[in-house]
């Protein structure tokens, strides 16, 4: 046995921890939980408007390619790391390296990134509650698109309302994560992700009956490559990583709850395909509505909070459609945010030996505080000059910061798995329980060369190295 391989032998204490660790209740349970983490605000909020701004079908095509060449291989790498170590993000890197090695910094970075992103994530997801209430009270009835847009701006200025929904959303998350892996996260993700697909199929079928459906299909199927700038290419890559929940330690943590008999390659491919399928369904649901009512796909960030609420008002059964849509948004967001909360909870449990209860409460308290500036930034109550100084509002800045951390976390994960881990042990970690063992060679190639190269390109773009393009 090679020396590096010996590193895979857990010390006694680690074995005890691994024994106590909960594992996924079923294969389907894990697939739905991982797919739930993947399908979130990135898929429902970011992807449609970014796709609209960047050439529609051409963008989706690239998004598909990156999903398969970079996203899914990295997804497998994170699961491999987590399952082999049976530890959270920080512990996973520490497990395979010498004491005090700087590799655990990568684990800490992912915890930090997930907290930063949760800060804005819970606020934006909370807006969904606001829009469900608006739909139920029918208060947009008969309003113009300008009035509906202005109502969103007014809502953003209302710090108290933003905090109210943020707290409510966070409380729902805490309740789920407190339930533990099987009775909390897995149980609720199974229910929410499967209902998400049902509602999504229902709404897409509804869009099928609208006049704009053919135009939307054409828009998606006949890509306009002239709109595909180099920046858009790189955006497709970073979005592929984001929507697969990579680079934040989530899949390392979820992988640590897998058993030797679980099939990592197969599960990863299923989740990757489900995530892509959901993205297409969301586009097929949103764009027919947008086209039918004379809007352009490039409506920008306000697409789902300004344009869509107006569109919903025009269609028959508007209350059902809009409540359905915003419930979908909340379900998608909850199953993603619980996965990020679990990253930090698992670390507190692993490293500090805290109870789940204490770990959840401390994590949620931190997320609440980190989210306050996003909740209040629209009102100008905090950082009134932020945008003038940093060029972006607070939400945009934190989102940008977490993009950086995501890219770096993803890159180092590729390097760690592709170059630092011992080959024999890695092969075993990948193939254990799998029917797709033959994929090992291709996967290793992708994780050593293709994925890091792609991620380095994204980092260069974030660093404005392609400004001349
Ligand atoms: N994949 C989620 C989405 O699309 C976001 C996410 C990123 C969740 C990273 C967990 C970790 O919204």
What tens-digit pLDDT sequence spans the chain (469 residues)? 344 443 444 433 443 444 478 999 999 999 999 999 999 998 888 888 888 778 788 888 889 999 999 999 999 999 999 999 999 999 999 888 888 788 989 999 999 999 999 999 999 999 999 999 999 999 999 999 999 999 999 999 999 999 999 999 999 999 999 999 999 999 999 999 999 999 999 989 999 999 999 999 888 877 778 877 877 887 888 889 999 999 999 999 999 999 999 999 999 999 999 999 999 899 889 889 888 988 877 666 778 898 899 999 988 889 999 999 999 999 999 999 999 999 999 999 999 999 999 999 999 999 999 999 999 988 888 888 888 898 888 887 887 787 788 888 899 999 999 999 999 999 999 999 999 999 999 999 999 999 999 889 878 877 777 665 5
122/377 Cα distance (integer angstroms): 14
C-alpha of residue 69 to centroid of ligand 1, in Å: 19
The Å distance, Cα 149 to ligand 1 centre, comes to: 27
Closest C-alpha among 149, 127, 120, 160 to residue 379: 160
323 Cα distance to chain centroid: 23
Q: How many whole angstroms from 387 Cα to the centroid of ligand 1?
A: 25
If one residue of 336, 341, 413 were mutated to test the ligand 1 pocket, choosing by the most ligand atoms within 8 A of its CB, it would be 336
Cβ-in-10-Å burial (0-12, 13-18, 19+) of 301 comes to: middle
Distance CA 172, CA 128 (A): 13
Is-contact 330 128, C-beta < 8 A? Answer: yes
Burial class (CB in 10 A: 0-12, 13-18, 19+), 273: middle
Assess whether the C-beta atom of 278 lies below 6 angstroms from ligand 1. Answer: no
In testing the pocket of ligand 1, which one of 36, 40, 169 has its CB within 8 Å of the most ligand atoms? 40
101 vs 2, 98, 304, 417, CA distance in Å? 20, 5, 45, 15
- Distance from residue 214's CA to the centre of ligand 1 (Å): 30
> CA-to-CA distance for 305 and 311, rounded, in angstroms?
11
Q: Which atom of ligand 1 is nearest to the CA of 244?
A: 1
235-271 burial code (b ≥16 CB/10 A, e <16): bbbbbbbbbbbbbbbbbbbbbbbbeeebbbbbbbbbb
Q: State residue 445's pLDDT score.
A: 97
Is 341 touching ligand 1 by the criterion CB < 6 Å?
no
Cα–Cα dist 288/209, whole Å: 9
Tokens of residue 110, six digits: 């992912």
Residues 34/267, Cβ–Cβ less than 8 Å: yes
Q: Are 279 and 47 in contact (CB under 8 A)?
A: yes
From the alpha carbon of 38, which atom of ligand 1 is closest?
Answer: 1
Structural domains in the chain, sorted by start: 11-462 (1.20.1740.10)
Rounded to an integer, what distance in angstroms lies between the CA atom of residue 207 and that of residue 200?
10
What tokens does 341 get? 């909360």
Residues 220, 57 contacting (CB under 8 angstroms): yes
Residue 211 C-alpha to ligand 1 middle, in angstroms?
33
User: Is the Cβ–Cβ distance between 79 and 255 less than 8 Å?
Assistant: yes
Q: Is the CB of 251 under 6 A from ligand 1?
A: no
Torsion sign over Cα 454, 457, 463, 467? negative
Alpha-carbon distance of 312 to 66, in angstroms, equals: 33
- Enumerate residues 6+ apart whose C-beta is below 8 A from 90: 104, 107, 108, 111, 347, 350, 351
The tally of CA atoms less than 13 A away on the side-chain side of residue 300 is 3
Is residue 344 within 6 Å of ligand 1 at its C-beta? no
Q: Is 339 in the pocket of ligand 1 (CB under 6 A)?
A: yes
Question: How far apart are alpha carbons 346 and 252 in whole angstroms?
Answer: 11
Query: Over the chain, what HEC string results?
Result: CCHHHHCCCCCHHHHHHHHHCCCCCCHHHHHHHHHHHHCCHHHHHHHHHHHHHCCCHHHHHHHHHHHHHHHHHHHHHHHHHHHHHCCCHHHHHHHCCCCCCCCHHHHHHHHHHHHHHHHHHHHHHHHHHHHHHHHHHCCCCCCCHHHHHHHHHHHHHCHHHHHHHHHHHHHHHHHHHHCCHHHHHHHHHHHHHHHHHHHHHHHHHHHHCCCCHHHHHHHHHCCCHHHCCHHHHHHHHHHHHHHCCCCCCHHHHHHCCCCCCCCHHHHHHHHHHHHHHHHHHHHHHHHHHHHHCCCCCCCHHHHHHHHHHHHHHHCCCHHHHHHHHHHHHHHHHHHHHHHHHHHHHHHHHHHHCCCHHHHHHHHHHHHHHHHHHHHHHCCCCCCCCHHHHHCCCHHHHHHHHHHHHHHHHHHHHHHHHHHHCCHHHHHHHHHCCCCCHHHHHHHHHHHHHHHHHHHHHHHHHHCCCCCCC
Specify the pLDDT at position 298: 63
Cα 258 to averaged position of ligand 1 atoms, centre (Å): 20
pTM of the model: 0.91
């Amino acid at each position: 046995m090679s020396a590096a391989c010996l590193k895979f032998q857990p010390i006694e204490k680690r074995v005890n921890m691994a024994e106590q660790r909960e594992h996924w209740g079923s294969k389907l349970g894990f697939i739905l939980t991982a797919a739930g983490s993947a399908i979130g605000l990135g898929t429902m909020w970011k992807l449609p408007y970014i796709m609209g701004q960047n050439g529609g079908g051409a963008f989706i095509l690239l998004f598909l390619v990156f999903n398969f060449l970079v996203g899914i291989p990295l997804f497998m790498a994170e699961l491999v790391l987590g399952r082999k170590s049976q530890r959270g993000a920080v512990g996973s890197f520490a497990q395979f390296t010498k004491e005090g090695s700087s590799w655990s910094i990568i684990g800490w970075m992912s915890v930090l990134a997930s907290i930063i992103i949760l800060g804005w994530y819970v606020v934006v997801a909370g807006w969904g509650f606001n829009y469900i209430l608006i739909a139920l009270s029918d208060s947009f009835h008969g309003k113009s698109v300008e009035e509906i847009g202005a109502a969103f701006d007014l809502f953003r200025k209302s710090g108290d309302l933003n905090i109210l929904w943020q707290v409510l959303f966070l409380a729902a998350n805490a309740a789920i994560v407190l339930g533990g892996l099987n009775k909390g996260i897995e149980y609720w993700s199974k229910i929410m992700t499967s209902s998400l697909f049902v509602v999504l199929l229902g709404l897409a079928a509804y869009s099928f009956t609208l006049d704009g459906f053919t135009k939307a299909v054409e828009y998606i199927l006949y890509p306009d490559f002239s709109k595909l700038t180099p920046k858009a290419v790189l955006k497709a890559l970073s979005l592929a990583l984001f929507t697969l929940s990579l680079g934040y330690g989530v899949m390392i943590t979820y992988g640590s709850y897998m058993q030797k008999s679980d099939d990592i390659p197969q599960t990863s491919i299923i989740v990757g395909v489900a995530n892509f399928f959901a993205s297409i369904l969301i586009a097929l649901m949103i764009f027919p509505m947008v086209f039918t009512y004379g809007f352009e796909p490039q409506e920008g960030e306000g697409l789902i909070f300004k344009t869509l609420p107006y569109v919903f008002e025009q269609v028959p059964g508007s209350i059902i459609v809009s409540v359905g849509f915003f419930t979908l948004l909340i379900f998608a967001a909850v199953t993603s945010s619980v996965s990020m909360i679990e990253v930090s909870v698992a670390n507190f449990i692993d490293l500090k030996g805290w109870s789940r209860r204490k770990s959840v409460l401390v994590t949620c308290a931190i997320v609440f505080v980190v989210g306050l500036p996003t909740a209040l930034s629209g009102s100008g109550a905090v950082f009134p000059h932020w945008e003038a100084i940093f060029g972006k509002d607070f939400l945009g800045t934190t989102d940008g910061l977490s993009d950086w951390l995501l890219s770096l976390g993803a890159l180092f994960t590729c390097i760690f798995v592709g170059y630092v881990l011992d080959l024999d042990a890695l092969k075993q970690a990948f193939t254990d329980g799998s029917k797709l063992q033959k994929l090992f060679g291709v996967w290793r190639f992708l994780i050593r060369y293709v994925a890091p190269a792609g991620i380095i390109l994204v980092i260069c773009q974030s660093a404005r190295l392609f400004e001349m393009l």
